[in-house]
Amino acid sequence: MKEIASMHHVTFSYDTEEESSQIQIKALDDVSFTLYEGEWLAVVGHNGSGKSTLAKLLIGLLFPSTGEVNLFLEPLSDANLWETRSRMGIVFQNPDNQFVGSTVQDDVAFALENNGVPHEMMVKRVREALEQVKMSGYVNHEPHHLSGGQKQRVAIAGALALQPELLILDEATSMLDPQGREEVIEIVKKLRGEIGLTVVSITHDLEEVLLADRVLVMNEGKVLMMGTPQEIFQKGKELESIGLDLPFALRVSELLRESGVELQGNHMTEEELVNELWTFHFSK
Amino acid sequence: MLEKMIIGRYIPGTSIVHRLDPRSKLLFVFLFIIAVFLANNVASYAVLLGFTVFVIALARIKPYFLVNGLKPVLFLIIFTLLLHLFFTREGVILFEWKFIKIYEEGLRMGIFISIRFLVLVLITTVLTLTTSPISITDGLETLLNPFKKLKLPVHELALMMSISLRFIPTLMDETDKILKAQLARGSDLSTGSIKERIQAVIPLLVPLFVSAFKRAEDLAVAMEVRGYRGGEGRTRFRQLSWQKKDTAVLITFIVLVAVLAWVRK
Amino acid sequence: MDISLQQVGYLYAKDSPFEKRALQDVTATIPSGSYTSIIGHTGSGKSTLLLHLNGLLKPSEGVVSIGNTTIQAQTKGKQLKDVRQQVGIVFQFPEHQLFEETVEKDIMFGPLNFGVPKEIARDRAHELVKLLGLPEGVLQKSPFELSGGQMRRVAIAGVLAFKPSVLVLDEPTAGLDPRGRKEIMELFHRLHETEKLTTILVTHSMEDAARYSDRILVMHEGTSVMEGTPEEVFNQAEQLESYRLGVPRSVRFQRKIENMMGQRLDRLALTEEMLAHELSALIARKEDRPC
């Protein structure tokens, strides 16, 4: 498997004005992980767990105090920052605050303009990217006439137009209504199928977590655990204690056990739980 | 009230005026503003007014909206009229009542200046109503391009302008939301002394600035990670195309000036 | 305090090229002491409706009555201040309304506007900070130094501080993490009980609507289309679907099981706890009489 990004013993502290340098709070503390090509990695943790700092280091908005951040097999530095960024797309939390263009197509073209892509190529890429996120019917729409979900899809198109190798979703769905969230997740799923895009999503949303290949759980600046969603949710209680949600089926299983119903496994999906209930309890 | 204002707003449409290149429209409005000062008698003002009505008709803007939306400006026009009426003291006295004297010249000047003002407001409103802000910015940037040699930061100015325009509706919404939230907390903007009213604006302004700065910060980050490094080496997605009808606009302008020159004293 | 809406209509930017109808023929009652959820798809008019509940918008058509006050198109602004003290609104992302130098002053802003004496307002600020689980030390801090979750709590305190008898909540948990969401919802639930509030929750979460409210009002395309208890509303899944709304996950799960068994459970499982309870009862019954 080809490595796309990795962190090696990364520590980061924000400069605080009041406190003396000795009691600096570590936003990230000895974080290491590797992201492979074609993988969907979900980064979870409650607010203040360090996951947004992690995102900032990954896109070179911050540089580590100690340790190393690698992207596309090279340490990220001032020298290769712009070139590295042209190979990845980032969608942020607030749909309004990242919409630079005055219309949908202008916004999608923004990164292409910055990278000096010729006009004809630009027109083609913009059209294709908008098709990929199903926003072709909105080329001339102004941002304030779009829903939050639509704006985020435009932001994804803006990233796709550059044909990136990595897409980072930094809480991209957290300000959306359920429908908007659904739209964005649908698009990401579709893109993974079509072009095998590598995705890092920093999120609270359980559905996103369940769709990921691997999950990185952050707590107090440290990597608490990393594994497949199945492996992570096995440790249900531990996750709850750091303020994270558990999937519906898992919560119901837990409640059933408490009221004396015997269950075989830990069920991640509704289907699994329905099947077990049916097989062992209702079909008798 | 604010939502009814139409000065500076854009209404999408397909009229010929909508479809003109922004450069020709901008050039035209700029030259028209100068040409307005050629008018100096009844006939020339009639030509100006007639031409303006013609442009409004071409742009297919409903007169009702125009009148409604321009109400705040009408007040200013009437004020100018009255100013001239009462303070110009030349010519024959037309009307006298106690200390109020209205002179012929005052009436004439008042009407002329008001028409001049009205025509200017109408023509610029037609420009903004039929041209999207981004097209205006594009047009300005291209028209100003020669000034780059004089170290005028044309690209940066145009980008600043387009981003400001892009954020106007967002910030208007924001203002409305914060205003409502403070009203719901019992804040009162419409009563009290001037001092109290000024103080009542603080709960509105502070959150608005905080949010605008937050947005600016987010936007700067978003632009940076999308590879924005200033105008150097940048290509342009928007291309303007000058067509025959745009040349026709400039010819129309020359004809207008010729007519004005002919009918003026 | 009962709130009722009779054939309420609202036109945004009336008589301008930008005129748009936002509400049409909305008729609904919100009984005193109830916990009513307003649900509806984005753009269904629920946010516009909410602004009518304390006179921030006056209806273009119809009548809104709040207690003894009636608000119509021609109602003058002066009568509305009383209503606003009675009906507090916690807007979406309420932390955006913070502006004072200190948390204490910001919480006192509302009460002082409504004529509460300074000492009492200060006492309330101190009580509320405790009630909302904020450290006492925050009172003299600038609200802008706090974390997002703390700012949200301070803003909520700023509304609770003038003791409204009706509390309107517009997506109060938007943007919070799961723990924060749960804490805030539990807090409002407690307040509803202890303060005998009339609570109105505007939400996208069917789970929250089912768990916390005793009445639900459904909005669709600017009009009120359904009103009833959570059981009544969530029993009509198909109807809700036509309004682009779903049912809580526990109800969805219940339906799956029921379809498999060809048998209905006794009650609609509005929460996960109810679902587990119903299922375990059913299993116990089955196992009591083995075939």
Residue B82: both structure tokens together:
């009255």
Backbone angle region of C61, left / alpha / beta, with phi > 0 → left and psi within -120 to 50 → alpha = beta
Share of chain B above pLDDT 70, in %: 97
Chain C contact present for A263, CB below 8 A? no
Domain count, chain B: 1
Residue in chain A lying closest to B162 (CA): A102
Structure-block tokens of residue C224: 């009120």
Tell me the pLDDT band of C289, cut-offs 50, 70 and 90.
low
- Two structure tokens written together for A100: 């630079």
Same domain? C86 vs C146: yes
* Residue that the structure tokens 């340490």 belong to: A75
- Rounded Cα–Cα distance for residues A153 and A141 (Å): 13
**Beta strand pairing call for A74-75 and C20-30:** unpaired
Nearest CA in chain A to B174: A96
B120 within a domain of the structure (yes/no): yes
**Same-domain check for residues C187 and C257:** no
No. of helices (H) and no. of strands (E), chain A: 11, 10
Q: Is residue B110 part of a domain?
A: yes
Name every chain A residue with its beta carbon within 8 A of the beta carbon of C177.
46-47, 204, 243-244
- Whether residue C281 has pLDDT greater than 50: yes
Q: Which two tokens stand for residue C238?
A: 């198909």
The whole-angstrom distance between A161's CA and the closest CA on chain B is: 11
Q: What are the CA-CA distances from residue C129 to residues B74, C43, C140 (Å)? A: 52, 35, 11
Contact A25/C at CB under 8 A:
no
Handedness of CA C237, C239, C241, C243 (dihedral sign): negative
What stretches in chain A show pLDDT beneath 70? 16-24, 284
Tokens 């190798």 identify what position?
A165
C85 and C162 share one domain: yes
A 169-188: CB under 8 A from C? 174-175, 177-180
Residue B143 domain flag: no
Q: Are residues C180 and C61 in the same domain?
A: yes
- Cβ A92–B221 below 8 Å, yes or no? yes
Strand partners, C167: C88, C199
Q: What letter does residue C68 receive in the DSSP assignment?
A: T
Closest chain C residue to B200 measured between Cα atoms? C113
Of C175, C275, C287, the CB nearest to A252: C275
Chain A residues within an 8 Å CB radius of B132 = 102
Beta bridge partners of C70: C65
Sheet holding C198-202, edge to edge: C87-90, C166-170, C198-202, C35-40, C215-220, C223-228
Partners for C (CB, 8 Å, 3+ pairs)? A, B
CA atoms within 13 A on the CB side of C87: 29
Residue B51: predicted pLDDT:
94
* Assigned domain for B72 exists: yes
- pLDDT, tens digit, for every residue of C230-241? 999 999 999 999
**CB pairs B-C closer than 8 Å:** 73
Note the pLDDT of residue B238. Answer: 87
Concatenating the DSSP letter of every residue in C177-199 gives: -HHHHHHHHHHHHHHHHHTT-EE
Task: Output the 3-class SS for chain B.
Answer: CHHHCCCCCCCCCCCHHHHCCHHHHHHHHHHHHHHHHHCCCHHHHHHHHHHHHHHHHHCCCCHHHHHHHCHHHHHHHHHHHHHHHHHCCCCCEEEEECCEEEEHHHHHHHHHHHHHHHHHHHHHHHHHHHCCHHHHHHHHHHHHHHHHHHCCCHHHHHHHHHHHHHHHHHHHHHHHHHHHHHHHCCCCCCCCCHHHHHHHHHHHHHHHHHHHHHHHHHHHHHHHHCCCCCCCCCCCCCCCCCCHHHHHHHHHHHHHHHHHHHHCC
Q: Which residue has the tokens 């698009």?
A: A187
Question: Is C154 in the same domain as C39?
Answer: yes
Question: What 8-state DSSP symbol labels residue A249?
Answer: H
On the 0-12 / 13-18 / 19+ scale of CB atoms within 10 A, C140 is: exposed
Question: Is 90 exceeded by the pLDDT of residue B135?
Answer: no
Burial environment of residue A163 by CB neighbours within 10 A (0 to 12, 13 to 18, 19 or more): middle
Considering only B87-96, B168-177, C247-256, which range has the smallest mean pLDDT? B87-96
Residues C247 and C211: their CA atoms lie apart, in Å, by 12
Domain that holds residue B89: 2-131+239-263
State whether residue A240 is helix, strand or coil: helix
Q: What is the pLDDT of residue A281?
A: 77
Identify which of C159, C165, C54, C166 has the alpha carbon closest to the alpha carbon of residue C108. C159
First to last CA, chain B: 43
| Cα–Cα distance measured from residue C122 to residue C103, given in angstroms and rounded to the nearest whole number | 11
Residues C170 and C267 placed together within one structural domain of the fold: no
Instruction: For residue range A78-88, list pLDDT tens digits in order.
Output: 999 999 999 99
**Subunit contact A282:C286, Cβ cutoff 8 A:** yes
Taking residues B30-34, report their average pLDDT: 93
What are the residues facing C218 on neighbouring strands? C39, C226
Q: Which residues of A touch B (CB under 8 A)?
A: 59, 61, 82, 85-86, 90, 92, 94, 96-103, 105-106, 109-119, 122-123, 126, 142-144, 158
Query: From residue A270, how far is each of A38, A201, A267, C211, C239 by CA, in Å?
Result: 27, 23, 7, 20, 24
Residue B98 has pLDDT above 80, yes or no: no
Is B182–C16 a contact, with Cβ atoms under 8 angstroms apart? no
Task: Give C-chain residues touching B62 at CB under 8 angstroms.
Answer: 17
State the total domains in chain C: 2
CA distance C110 to chain B (A): 5
Question: Looking at the domain assignment, is residue B16 inside a domain?
Answer: yes
Q: Contact A165/A136 with Cβ under 8 angstroms?
A: no
| Shared domain check, C103 and C133 | yes
Q: What string of DSSP letters covers A182-205?
A: HHHHHHHHHHHHHH--EEEEE---
Please give the ipTM for the structure prediction: 0.91
C274 and C234 share one domain: no
pLDDT in tens, C19-42: 889 999 999 999 999 999 999 998
Strands C61-66 and A3-13: unpaired
Q: What residues of B are in contact with residue A86 (Cβ under 8 Å)?
A: 227
Interval B145-194: pLDDT, tens:
888 888 888 888 888 888 888 888 889 889 999 999 999 999 887 777 88
Sheet holding A26-36, edge to edge: A26-36, A3-13, A66-71, A74-75
Helix (H) or strand (E) holding A91: strand A88-91
Distance (Å, whole) CA C25 – CA C61? 8
Identify whether B118 is part of a domain: yes
Q: pLDDT tens-digit profile of C106-127? A: 999 999 999 999 999 999 999 9
Has residue B256 been placed in a domain?
Answer: yes
Same domain, C146 and C268: no
How far apart CA C68 and CA A12 sit, in angstroms, is 59
Cα distance between residue B159 and residue B168, in whole Å? 14
Please choose, from the candidates A138, A163, A167, the residue with its C-alpha nearest in 3D space to the C-alpha of residue A41. A167
- Lookup result for tokens 């006050």: C69
The reply to whether B13 touches chain C by the CB within 8 Å rule is no
Query: Which residues are paired to A217 by β-bridges?
Result: A44, A225
Check CB contact of B107 with chain C, cutoff 8 Å: no
Is the residue at B175 inside a domain?
no
Strands C198-202 and C215-220: unpaired
Choose, out of A78, A83, A100, A200, the residue to mutate when testing the contact with B (most B CBs < 10 Å).
A100
Cβ contacts of B163 on chain A, cutoff 8 Å? 100
Q: How far is A156 from chain B (nearest CA, A)?
A: 12
B52-56, B85-89, C37-41 — which is least confidently predicted?
A: B85-89
Q: What is the mean predicted confidence (pLDDT) over B66-82?
A: 83
Measure the CA–CA gap between C185 and C190, rounded to whole angstroms: 9
Report pLDDT for B1: 43
Q: Where are the beta strands (DSSP E) in chain C?
A: 3-12, 20-30, 35-40, 61-66, 69-71, 87-90, 166-170, 198-202, 215-220, 223-228
Answer yes or no: do C65 and C116 share one domain.
yes
Q: Which of C247, C262, C279 is the last residue of a domain?
A: C247
Please tell me if residue B172 touches chain C, with a CB cutoff of 8 Å: no
Q: Do A113 and B235 touch (CB under 8 A)?
A: yes
Same domain for C137 and C79: yes
Phi and psi at residue C282, to the nearest 5°: -65, -45
What are B191-207's pLDDT values in tens digits?
A: 778 888 888 889 999 99
Domain extent for C186 = 3-247
B-chain CB neighbours of C12 within 8 Å are 3
In this predicted structure, what is the pLDDT of residue B8? 67
B210: chain C residues, CB-CB within 8 Å: 96, 99, 144
The number of residues making up chain A comes to 284
pLDDT of residue A23: 56
C262 contact residues in A (CB cutoff 8 A): none
Same domain, C270 and C223: no
Find out whether A119 and B237 touch, Cβ atoms under 8 Å. yes
Q: What is the structure's pLDDT at B262?
A: 92
- Set of chain A residues whose Cβ sits within 8 Å of the Cβ of C41: 179
Q: Which of B160, B138, B183 is nearest to B230 (CA)?
A: B160
Worst-scoring range by mean pLDDT, B25-39, B131-145, C263-277? B131-145
Do strands C215-220 and C3-12 pair parallel, antiparallel, or not at all (unpaired)? unpaired
User: How distant, in Å, are the alpha carbons of A48, A216, A219, A244, A268 from that of A232?
Assistant: 20, 9, 14, 12, 11
Inter-chain touch A119–B235, beta carbons under 8 Å? yes
- The SS3 call for residue C125 is helix
